Amino acid sequence: MAERQPVLVLISEDPRASHRANEAMRIALGIVAGETPVDIVLAGPAVHLLDEDTDNLVDGDDIAKFRAALKKLAVPFHVEEGAPPADRSWNADGHPVAPITRDGIAALVAKARRFLVF
């Protein structure tokens, strides 16, 4: 039986400025909960979804809750290379992350079945 193709959730909204980054992560969590494989990519400022201090993020309490649920489910984030801040407090919770290049994102797009782009 062929491997199930994943849903790709690509988030590039800035959670410091818009609630939509959190909403995209919540939707990704919902689809994972439906037992569909999901690839989550954080591009550009969306990497701030992994900031230690969520007080500066829109819907920060929800972000902490949803990303903790994704961590519990061992769902990694693909993080665009060069996007994470140098601040060592970034991803203080140790969420599994994998750096990814633009070409790598394109490769994920090529193997995905559905796309949610925020």
Two tokens, residue 3: 């491997």
Residues 32-51 that bind other proteins (CB under 8 A): 33-36
The token pair that represents 74 in the structure block: 């061992």
7 lies in the site for other proteins, by CB under 8 A: yes
As measured in angstroms, the least distance from the Cβ of 32 to other proteins is: 8
Q: Which of 23, 39, 51, 80 binds other proteins (CB under 8 A)?
A: 23
Phi, psi of 84 (to 5 degrees): -65, 145
Q: Of the candidates 15, 21, 26, 47, which one interacts with other proteins according to CB under 8 A?
A: 26
Rounded Cα distance between 60 and 64, Å, is: 6
Find out whether 4 and 35 touch, Cβ atoms under 8 Å: no
Q: CB 51 → other proteins: shortest distance, Å?
A: 21
Establish if 116 lies at the interface with other proteins (CB under 8 A): yes
Q: What is the DSSP string of 74-95?
A: T--EEEETT-S-S-TTTTTT--
- Chain residues in the site for other proteins (CB under 8 A): 7, 19-20, 23-24, 26-27, 29-31, 33-36, 114-118
